[in-house]
Amino acid sequence: MNFRLFALALFGAAPLAGSVDQSTLDPAGPAAHILSNLGWFTLITSMAVAAVMYILIALVVTRPKGTLDEHAPADAGGGLSWIHIGGFLIPVLILTGILSASVAGMSQFPVHDGMNTSPDIRIIGHQWWWQVEYVDGPVDTHAMTANEIHIPAGRPVDIDLDSADVIHSFWVPQLHGKVDLIPGKRNRIRIQAARPGIYHGQCAEYCGAQHAHMILIVVAQTPEDYQAWLARQRSDAAPPVTTQQIEGQQLFLGKACALCHSVRGTLALGNVGPDLTHMGSRLFIAANYLPNNEANLEAWVTHAQSLKPACAMPNITQFTGTQLRALTAYLRNLK
Ligand SMILES: [Cu+2]
């Protein structure tokens, strides 16, 4: 058992140890560093206090019985000053230290700060997925994605957090603490990833039946890769190429799909579910719960309610096997 797992177990957070890249003790950004230092500082001072307490208790229970000393009043031999030091001075010093470190950490939560500046990204929580909008340029050119958040590494990224239904909470432990998405109240979080990589997160506020399947992925890229990715995401959907993909598009536009999903550049303008314009470029579907491949797409379209019971996408069972394959071929081509 390594030291980090041991510390996590001590914190009573052993379940988190299962996925080490989702640990607050493995920070990869400035805010997460401050919060992790606060955690270590609190842990180490509490352990030191506990150690001193156990030593004192051991001294008391092992001292010789039946002596006059045992019955001495508390104030004998300067006893009262030890009560003042141990019962007042030391707790005040330690609690003040922890309080000031916590207050310093709170500066990383500029909930009311920067409201007049435009964010880089706006995230809207839905039961049970994350809508992600890249706020850059005129509104009709914003890139819209879902669940997989791309950011440039090495610079701060401001994210506005909103909710369309209940309270959710944005938590990517390696990048920052938790900030809630509250209907009618816009919060902001500033994340920064030290290096390119994939950072995992989770909705951290119980939001209903599929709360546990409301997963977040932050993909930090080099600034050049990020700009290229953003330019692609802003563009309209790739037109279908093969006859199979063309049939798939007709099915998509002709059936219920287009009422709930947008594919920019087509007549599909629904906004109940995720924007699918570039869904073929995403690693996962259904809030990062299922890998994005043909089998899962077919299963998802026909059995969304078995995979994510109570989610806002119905089972759509009207397609023949050939039609279903055409539909997924079309979706996979939306890179
Ligand atoms: Cu949630």
User: Is the domain of 228 the same as that of 247?
Assistant: no
286: left (phi over 0), alpha (psi -120 to 50) or beta: left
C-alpha 164 – ligand 1 centre gap (Å): 11
Residue 114 in any domain: the answer is: no
Domain count, the chain: 3
Residue 115 in any domain: the answer is: no
CA distance readout (Å), 252 to 186, 203, 242, 306, 328? 34, 30, 15, 21, 10
User: pLDDT of 111-160, one tens digit each?
Assistant: 555 567 889 999 999 999 999 999 988 888 899 999 999 999 999 999 99
C-alpha 125 – ligand 1 centre gap (Å): 7
> Which pLDDT score, from 0 to 100, does residue 14 have?
45
Average pLDDT value for residue range 8-15: 49
Domain boundary among 46, 74, 106: 106
Residue 16 has pLDDT above 70, yes or no: no
In the block, which residue shows the tokens 């009207």? 318
C-alpha 124 – ligand 1 centre gap (Å): 10
Three-class SS state of 168: strand
- Report the candidate in 142, 184, 193 with the shortest Cα–Cα distance to residue 166: 184
Residue 63 in any domain: the answer is: yes
Lowest mean pLDDT among 101-105, 107-111, 195-199, 222-226: 107-111
Average pLDDT value for residue range 313-328: 95
Residue 325 has pLDDT above 70, yes or no: yes
Question: What tokens does 76 get?
Answer: 């004998």
8 A C-beta contact, residue 214 and residue 288: no
As a whole-number percent, the residues of the chain with pLDDT over 90 amount to 75
Give the list of residues 6+ apart from residue 146 with CB closer than 8 angstroms, or none: 129, 130, 131, 132, 274, 275, 279, 282, 287
Amino acid sitting at position 281: S
Residue 51 has pLDDT above 90, yes or no: yes
Residue 287 has pLDDT above 50, yes or no: yes
Residue 116 in any domain: the answer is: no
User: Is the domain of 262 the same as that of 306?
Assistant: yes
User: Is the domain of 131 the same as that of 224?
Assistant: yes
User: Is the domain of 251 the same as that of 215?
Assistant: no
> Which pLDDT score, from 0 to 100, does residue 235 have?
94
Residue 238 in any domain: the answer is: no
Separation of CA 261 from chain center: 24
User: Is the domain of 133 the same as that of 155?
Assistant: yes
For the ranges 59-73, 76-90, 157-171, the one whose mean pLDDT is highest: 157-171
Q: Which domain holds residue 43?
A: 3-106
Average pLDDT value for residue range 225-242: 95
User: Is the domain of 247 the same as that of 154?
Assistant: no
Residue 20 has pLDDT above 50, yes or no: no
CATH value at residue 172: 2.60.40.420
Residue 295 has pLDDT above 60, yes or no: yes
C-alpha 74 – ligand 1 centre gap (Å): 55
> Which pLDDT score, from 0 to 100, does residue 215 have?
95
Confidence band for 202, pLDDT divided at 50, 70 and 90: very high
Residue 27 in any domain: the answer is: yes
User: Is the domain of 42 the same as that of 144?
Assistant: no
Average pLDDT value for residue range 153-170: 95
Domain boundary among 172, 203, 233: 233
Domain boundary among 49, 78, 106: 106
User: Is the domain of 80 the same as that of 125?
Assistant: no
Three-class SS state of 72: coil
> Which pLDDT score, from 0 to 100, does residue 176 have?
95
Q: Is the peptide bond before 130 cis (omega within 30 degrees of 0)?
A: no
User: Is the domain of 259 the same as that of 219?
Assistant: no
User: Is the domain of 128 the same as that of 211?
Assistant: yes
Report the predicted TM-score, pTM, of the whole model to 2 decimal places.
0.88
C-alpha 264 – ligand 1 centre gap (Å): 26
Residue 265 has pLDDT above 80, yes or no: yes
C-alpha 141 – ligand 1 centre gap (Å): 27
C-alpha 204 – ligand 1 centre gap (Å): 7
User: Is the domain of 220 the same as that of 262?
Assistant: no
C-alpha 246 – ligand 1 centre gap (Å): 36
Residue 2 has pLDDT above 70, yes or no: no
> Which pLDDT score, from 0 to 100, does residue 15 have?
46
User: Is the domain of 158 the same as that of 248?
Assistant: no
Amino acid sitting at position 116: N
> Which pLDDT score, from 0 to 100, does residue 212 have?
95
User: For the chain, what is the mean pLDDT?
Assistant: 90
